[in-house]
Amino acid sequence: MSLTLKEANQIIEGAIAKAEELGIKINVAVCDGGGRLQAFSRMDGAAWAGMYGSQGKAVASAATGRASGELQERADAPIYRGIALAEGAHMILSKGALPIIRAQETIGACGVGGGTADEDEVCAAAGLAAISG
């Protein structure tokens, strides 16, 4: 089972709609179950650095099948530092990404960067809700 491009784009649209409602500018990345970018969008006026944050958080969420914020307290633990280095240092263990789970399998993740950590996660949740309907 895999995530389709159509679904990835629906997730992005849902996350952006929530960001507009909150009055913030975000970057949103959707990756597949292997942590590879499937779709990405940056709102007009969103900080360019959020591009890296959104993707890094999505990679961490896809790799673990957990919300990236759950990993934040353990970011400096040797095992997580080692995993991040081994995979190319693309993982960001910080709040703002949620896994996409279907039939008990992690098929991807949505990561958001540009708002506060809580706003990013709220936008990611809105993105996932766009395909759960």
- Of residues 126 and 69, more confidence is placed in 126
Total residue length of the chain: 133
pLDDT for res 112: 98
Q: Tens of pLDDT along 28-81?
A: 999 999 999 999 999 999 999 999 999 999 999 999 999 999 888 887 788 878
What stretch of H or E contains 5? helix 5-22
User: Which of these, 54, 11, 1, 58, lies nearest to 35 by C-alpha position?
Assistant: 58
Report the C-alpha gap between 78 and 68 in whole angstroms: 17
3-class DSSP state for residue 80?
helix
Taking the model in full, what pTM does it have?
0.92
User: In which region does residue 98 sit, left (phi positive, over 0), alpha (psi from -120 to 50) or beta (all else)?
Assistant: beta
pLDDT single digits (tens) 77-119: 888 788 777 887 788 889 999 999 999 999 999 999 999 999 9
Contact at 8 Å (CB) between 85 and 110?
Answer: no
Residue 52 carries which side chain, given as an amino acid letter? Y
Residue 112 in 3-state DSSP? strand
Residue 133 pLDDT exceeds 70: no
What's the distance, Cα to Cα, between the start and end of the chain in Å? 18
Domains for the chain: give ranges and CATH numbers.
Answer: 5-132 (3.30.450.150)
Strands, sheet with 105-113, edge to edge from the N-terminal-most edge strand: 37-42, 27-32, 105-113, 97-102
